[in-house]
Amino acid sequence: MNQSLSIDNTLHSSRIVGRYAKFFDRPEARLRFLNKTLSQETATRARLDAALTNFEYVKKTRLYEQLLKLWLYQLVFRELYQQLPPGKRRVQLIDLRTRAPLSARVFFTCYQFRYPLYVLSAAVLMAALFGVYTGVGWSARRVSTLLAQRGTSGKAVAADSAPNPVYAQVAASSLPDYRPEKVWLVEEGDGYERFSNGARILREYETANHPRGYHVYGPNGAPTGGTGRQPVGIVYHTSESDLMPFNADNSESIEAHTRGLLEYVKKNSSYNYVIDRFGQIYRVVRDEDAANHAGNSVWAGAQGLFVGLNESFLGVCFETKTAAGVEERLTEAQLVSGRLLTQVLRSRHQIEDANCVTHGLVSVNPTSMLICFHHDWARGFPFEALGLSDKYAVPPASVTEFGFTYDEELLSKLGGSLWPGVAAAEKAFNERAARENLRPEELRRRMREVYRQRMDTQRGLRQEAAQAAAAD
């Protein structure tokens, strides 16, 4: 700023200060007011100039002059308010209303009521923070649904008195509906695939296994069509691997455990996909190949009945664990990624909702003729959050078709109850036995042999598929 402009500003400031010095009757008080106010104005100007060292152009604008003027009035009002006796302040306020600029009057009013304004500002800030906290909490509750399944099943099923499993919930109504035409491959890069719904699938652990080969059985028990080669469903699993407490301090350890799990899954071709605790999706066994995830298993959908779901269903594993007295838990990231991956797989392979099920609902033990040989997701799977219908209400084909049953040990392991569909399945099997004039135990023995024959046939189909792929 040039010297002439500085002198002009100083003179202008002196006139403004002198205008309000008349409120002091004694000369020494008037002089003290002038000197103190002008010295503070000079110091304020110096600080402002120092702050604008790298912005010299601002000093040439009207904004700079207005800032100085506004600050000068604030200094004048403060000194008047502090030095004038109470009786003189009323005269001062009247003069301010008529002669001072509006901005200065507002500024002074704020200064007068600065302490109540401090309290009000603090209250507004606290209310805003509380609102944000409440909004985040509400969103978290919206992004997580408490899904615990209750049910009764025949004479042996007790009421479910165990605590319901708690999940980080995702309200299905708040997420996009599944539409095959809305999900497609957008980008394929080095070690990953990105899809139109936001899913990102990592491929660094991808491997091959034997090709698929299976039959679909119709209502009359005969195969429909030829040998199936493409996946027609999804089975959801838990990894049952060691887990670290899910907090920021354990981030590195959590990732290390995930890498160990992925190496194991790759070595054993255990699943087609793994979703880690941070929501990252890994493809392990390629979709066109069968993974070793379901073993002895049964499920029926719109196309027909399937046995040995390794060959016909994709295996999707969530990195989580089930332990005695502890329910399965998923992170919010896993729920969101599970939803996205489900959309991708259903779109890519035209998979029906009816064929998206959990391992606990399809797993069987043909030696003891018991259902739920593996317990992962035998209860509490968040079907709705993944955009799927509730399969716990569906009578399992292992019971309706083959007569698999359960025992007290299984009930104890599942907390005293089975899923509701089991009761309906038992009723259907018993009615079927009555129509065929057989005792349920006799029909169950016959159907156990049928199941074993179909599994043997499936093994032969798998070998044929492997030989055909080797020949190609």
- Residue 127 or 185, more confident: 185
As a whole number of angstroms, the distance between CA 266 and CA 269 comes to 5
- Residue 258 or 162, more confident: 258
For each of the domains in the chain, give its residue range(s) and CATH number, in order of start.
3-112 (no CATH), 172-471 (3.40.80.10)
What does the block give as tokens for 62?
A: 């009207």
Tell me the pLDDT band of 163, cut-offs 50, 70 and 90.
very low
- Residue 164 or 312, more confident: 312
What pLDDT sits at residue 109? 67
| Residue 472 CB coordination number (10 Å) | 6
**Do 299 and 345 contact (CB within 8 A), yes or no?**
no
Sign of CA dihedral 369, 374, 379, 381: negative
Reduced to 3 states, what is the DSSP secondary structure of residue 160? coil
Q: Please check the confidence at residue 143 and state whether its pLDDT lies above 60.
A: no
Residue 327: C-alpha distances to residues 157, 160, 212, 371, 433 (Å): 19, 13, 33, 19, 36
- Residue 86 or 163, more confident: 86
What is the value of pTM for the model shown?
A: 0.65
Single out the residue of 289, 287, 265 nearest to residue 276, CA to CA: 265
- Residue 91 or 1, more confident: 91
Share of the chain above pLDDT 70, in %: 70
Single out the residue of 303, 307, 272 nearest to residue 290, CA to CA: 272
Tell me the pLDDT band of 169, cut-offs 50, 70 and 90.
very low
Backbone angles phi, psi at 256, to 5 degrees: -65, -40
**Do 398 and 404 contact (CB within 8 A), yes or no?**
yes
How long a stretch of residues is the chain?
472
Backbone angles phi, psi at 195, to 5 degrees: -115, 165
Longest dimension (CA), the chain: 123
| Residue 404 CB coordination number (10 Å) | 29
Residue 282, beta-bridge partner list? 202, 274
Single out the residue of 306, 328, 355 nearest to residue 454, CA to CA: 306
Residue in this structure with the two tokens 């399937």, named with its chain if needed: 306
As a whole number of angstroms, the distance between CA 76 and CA 82 comes to 10
What does the block give as tokens for 416?
A: 């005293």
Q: Please check the confidence at residue 132 and state whether its pLDDT lies above 60.
A: yes
Task: Write out the H or E segment, with its range, that includes residue 333.
Answer: helix 332-349
Q: Please check the confidence at residue 94 and state whether its pLDDT lies above 70.
A: no
As a whole number of angstroms, the distance between CA 52 and CA 195 comes to 50
Single out the residue of 225, 158, 161 nearest to residue 408, CA to CA: 158
Q: Mean pLDDT over all residues of the chain?
A: 81
What are 380-424's pLDDT values in tens digits? 999 999 999 999 999 999 999 999 999 999 998 888 889 999 999
Tell me the pLDDT band of 4, cut-offs 50, 70 and 90.
very low
Residue 207 DSSP symbol: B
As a whole number of angstroms, the distance between CA 397 and CA 304 comes to 10
Asked which of 81-95, 177-191, 432-446 is least confident by mean pLDDT, the reply is: 81-95
As a whole number of angstroms, the distance between CA 84 and CA 94 comes to 14
What pLDDT sits at residue 251? 94
Reduced to 3 states, what is the DSSP secondary structure of residue 447? helix
DSSP 55-112: -GGGGGSHHHHHHHHHHHHHHHHHHHHHHS-HHHHHHHHHHHHHHS-HHHHHHHHHHH
As a whole number of angstroms, the distance between CA 251 and CA 396 comes to 39
Q: Please check the confidence at residue 107 and state whether its pLDDT lies above 70.
A: no
Residue 274, beta-bridge partner list? 282, 317
Single out the residue of 95, 194, 145, 63 nearest to residue 335, CA to CA: 145
Residue 228, beta-bridge partner list? 214
